[in-house]
Amino acid sequence: MSQKSIRFLVYALKGGLFILPVLSLIVADFLFFPFITGKNFFFRIMVEVLFFLWIFGAVFDKNLRPRKSPVLLAFSATLFILFLATIFGENPFRSFWSNYERMEGFVGYLHLFAYFLILTSVLRKKRDFKILFGAMLAVSAIVTFYGFLQYFGKLAIHQGNVRLDATFGNAGYLAIFLVFHLFLTALFFYWFKNKWLRIGLALLFALELVVLFFTATRGAILGFVAGLFLFAVLMAIFSVEKKTRLLFASLLFLVILSVGLFVALKDQSFIKKNPVLGRFSSISFSETTTESRLTIWGMSWQGFQEHPVLGWGQENYNLVFNKYFEPKLYKQEPWFDRAHNVFFDWLISAGALGFLAYMSIFVSVLFMLWRGYKKRVFSLFESAGTTSVLAAYGFHNLFVFDNLTSSFVFFTILGFVHSGWIRKDGEKEEKKEEIMSNKEISGLSYLVVTVCFLVIVFSLYFVNVKPLLAAKNLLNALSLVRGGAPIEDVLKQYDKVFSYSTFGTVEAREQLAGFANAVASNTNIPEKDRGLALKKAIEEMEKQIEKTPNDARYRIFLGSVYTRASLFDKAEATFEEAISLSPRKQQIYFALADVYFAGKNYQKAVEVLETAYNFDKSSLEAGKNLFMAAILSQNEQYVESLKIEIENRFGPEALIDKKFINVYSAVGDYEAVKNLWFVFIEKEPDNAQYRVSLGAAYLNLNEREKAIEQIQKAIEIQPSFKEQGEYFISEIRAGRNP
């Protein structure tokens, strides 16, 4: 292969690498989970194509082959341990493939590793990384502009609140993206001395900082402050020039002063009322988010102790969450698939070995940075800045989980450190090696290229094309549901998704079960169509249970569909199996109680709901559910004692709820119905419907004149009700119940 051909190949590889940063801008509206899937499919397809070109080039040119460094060895060890954890984990299929919502798994890390190999083998020169970082900053500028458009109301905030999320759909993802790019902006400011470029970079830094602030992501912002503090400390300690030391000592003082002022003023109204600053002033161990994080970390520690060596396998945190569920989390999200702490996620995903391997990546890159600084490969600014941004990233990761956009930047920065490491003491570039002649190239080399080509083609189709088409068809199915399409058309669309047999099948089954439950509760839909939807959902969820029998989540889906289909025996058995997998999750007990309600087995419902209530008596919903079952069981003594307990715990109006009206009516306790309507009318005396309902209660108590009196008051409040109201009155006076 000629030198010219190799150069062309290298240009193609570099061009591909320089294009990759645009992944942060991709929002694939035509795919399920558009903020996640589009970015990941783009990254994977690009990496696979580049990987083949790289292998092809590396066969002929030894300069394109990877060179070892501590960080490459650490990353390789981490990937190997992840592979073992995937094989021996609880659900190897899920660990390998992940799902549309996350798109991580072993296959995700495999692509990141391939990217790292290509990056570190192709971009050997510092100027190459300057071009790549420049492309990343250009993308960052677009993202920042997008954030400002959201702030000024020109574009919607996808999370539906005041926290900016740009093209990420998640404020936390945007925040850590900006933290990394604030570092890159500062690095460019240090590298380039052009006046106008520096003005532009300073402006970009300021704008990125503003958008970071309005993400209101506490972990990232506090991480940025901590990183800034560390950077100032390192520069103040190690700088040779006195002027530089004083400058960064001043920065250090400014950071400390700013934090101190905030702590001193955090209880002031202007801070508490600010939607961003208020989130920081509310930080405490008793705050809901903090308390739930600590609880989840405790559950994670229990899960780690059960599988300490290789963990549960990637994407299996939900099994830990189910098994060790703490009932006080009931008010939070019903399902967590991450520990909201990257380090605990590694302990669960790959055990102590995986955690240590992951930490070795940080240790190795810090070793390389500061050894490189001593050997003058890296400047103090580069070493201190990279150390600080990694510290900020690590702090942020204490409270969240990772994603592709942050991992991409993280491994790109590691690639920059690697490229400096492989340059010898102060030597600007590595020594070039000759391109291999045709005689030197063995048949084995051609075999490697051929096999690699076949593997890439296979991967492009099975890893990307099929799942992408399945994601597109799944979104089409959901669009048909929203558009009110015929049931048969919706089910045919779901069949298309299932026909691809991808990792997306699991999420499609969940969506189908939700659709079937909604259809079953809609009496306007023909019974035949409702039956078709339920039958299909049952068929698919039963298949899912066969594949993942140890996951309570899918048993809840199946049990709920069984309940809607009036298959109460199967529903009961399914929920009991779910309880064996998640013995303290109230949601399952509530679902099982619904089965008993449907079968009018109220005593069983009381027993089940009493168990759920006793798990966490701070849950008013659990108390209300138990009280409802107690009324239906007609155990008056138990009802009265429970009422006293709930009202003492939650206040005298805790059981003032319209849902009890139907329950009291079902057991013929119209005196209780009447008393409830009295309370509602006291709160809304001009509500005509309340008056009519109170009249109905009087009628059931055979207090007919009082019933007429309430209907007359309803007519006074709402004159349009006069004709119907007078008809009711005439019927009551005639001795009939209208």
Q: What SS3 class is residue 435?
A: strand
Across residues 195-203, what is the average pLDDT? 97
The pLDDT score that the predictor gives to residue 427 is 47
Q: What is the mean pLDDT of the chain?
A: 93
Residue 17 lies in a domain: no
Provide the CATH number for the domain around residue 696: 1.25.40.10
Question: What is the per-residue pLDDT for 258?
Answer: 92
Say what percent of the chain tops pLDDT 90.
Answer: 84
User: For residues 603 and 597, what is the distance between their CA atoms, to the nearest angstrom?
Assistant: 9
280 pLDDT exceeds 80? Answer: yes
Domain contains 159: yes
Nearest to 386 by CA among 113, 184, 220: 184
644 lies in the same domain as 669: no
pLDDT in the model for residue 429: 47
- Answer whether residue 218 shows pLDDT above 80: yes
CA distance 393 to 180: 8
Structural domains in the chain (count): 3
Q: Residue 432: what pLDDT?
A: 54
Question: Max CA-CA distance within the chain?
Answer: 111
pLDDT in tens, 298-333: 999 999 999 999 999 999 999 999 999 999 888 777
Same domain, 264 and 319: yes
Within this chain, do residues 605 and 737 fall inside the same structural domain, yes or no?
no
Residue 314 and residue 409 in one domain:
yes
Residue 582 domain flag: no
pLDDT tens column, 102-161: 999 999 999 999 999 999 999 999 999 999 999 999 999 999 999 999 999 999 998 777
Give dist(CA 17, CA 50) in Å, integer: 8
Does an H or E element contain 286, and which? none
Considering the domain architecture, whether residues 632 and 682 belong to the same structural domain is answered as no
Whether the full predicted model's pTM is greater than 0.85, yes or no, is yes
| Cα dihedral 170→46→414→377 (10° resolution) | -140
- pLDDT tens readout for residues 348-366: 999 999 999 999 999 999 9
- Tell me how far the alpha carbon of residue 326 is from its chain's centroid: 20
CA distance 255 to 232: 9
For every residue of 16-56, DSSP letters joined together read HHHHGGGGGG---TTSSSHHHHHHHHHHHHHHHHHHHHHHH
Work out the pLDDT band at 60, boundaries 50, 70, 90.
confident
Are both 135 and 166 inside the same structural domain? yes
User: Is 49 within the bounds of a domain?
Assistant: no
**Hey, what are 472's tokens?**
């597109």
In this structure, are 102 and 192 located in the same domain? yes
For residue 138, the tally of other CB atoms under 10 A from its CB is 13
State the pLDDT at residue 281: 85
The residue written with tokens 């899960």 in the block is 303
- How does pLDDT run across 18-27, given as a tens digit for each residue? 999 999 999 9
Q: For residue 578, tell me if it sits in a domain.
A: no
Q: Which domain holds residue 680?
A: 656-738
Q: How far apart are CA 108 and CA 100, in angstroms?
A: 12
Q: Give the span between the Cα atoms of 220 and 338, in whole angstroms.
A: 18
pLDDT of residue 331: 78
Give Cα 421 distance to the centre of its chain: 36
pLDDT digits (tens, 9 = 90+) for 638-691: 999 999 999 999 998 999 999 999 999 999 999 999 999 999 999 999 999 999
- Contact between residue 180 and residue 406 where contact means Cβ atoms under 8 Å apart: yes
Q: Are 611 and 692 part of one and the same domain? A: no
Q: Is 510 a member of any domain?
A: no
Same domain for 113 and 232? yes
- Write down which residue in 421, 437, 462 finishes a domain: 421
Query: Residues 74-92: what's their mean pLDDT?
Result: 98
Q: How far apart are CA 315 and CA 442, in angstroms?
A: 42
Q: Is the pLDDT of residue 606 over 90?
A: yes
In angstroms, the CA 15 to CA 361 distance is 27
Last residue of a domain, one of 613, 636, 654: 654
Same domain, 663 and 641: no
Q: pLDDT digit string (tens) for 445-487?
A: 778 888 999 999 999 999 999 999 999 999 999 999 999 999 9
- Residue 646: inside a domain, yes or no? yes
On whether residue 81 sits in a domain, the answer given is yes
pLDDT at residue 441 in the model: 61
Q: Mean pLDDT over residues 565-580, rounded?
A: 97
Q: 717 and 615, same structural domain?
A: no
Percent of the chain scored above 70 by pLDDT?
97
Q: Which of 299, 326, 335 is nearest to 554 (CA)?
A: 335
234-243, 275-284, 532-541: segment of lowest average pLDDT: 275-284
Domain boundary at 421, 455, 480, which? 421
Q: At what angle do helices 487-499 and 505-520 cross, to 10 degrees?
A: 170
94 and 204 in a single domain? The answer is yes
pLDDT on residue 428: 47
Vertex 455, ends 435 and 114: CA angle to 5°?
Answer: 65
514 within 8 A of 533, measured Cβ to Cβ: no
Summarize pLDDT for 375-434 with one digit per residue, the tens.
999 999 999 999 999 999 999 999 998 999 999 999 999 999 999 998 754 444 444 555
Residues 6+ apart with CB under 8 A from 104: 98, 314, 315, 402, 403, 404
What is the end-to-end Cα distance of the chain in Å, rounded? 95
Whole-angstrom distance, CA of residue 478 vs CA of residue 515: 9
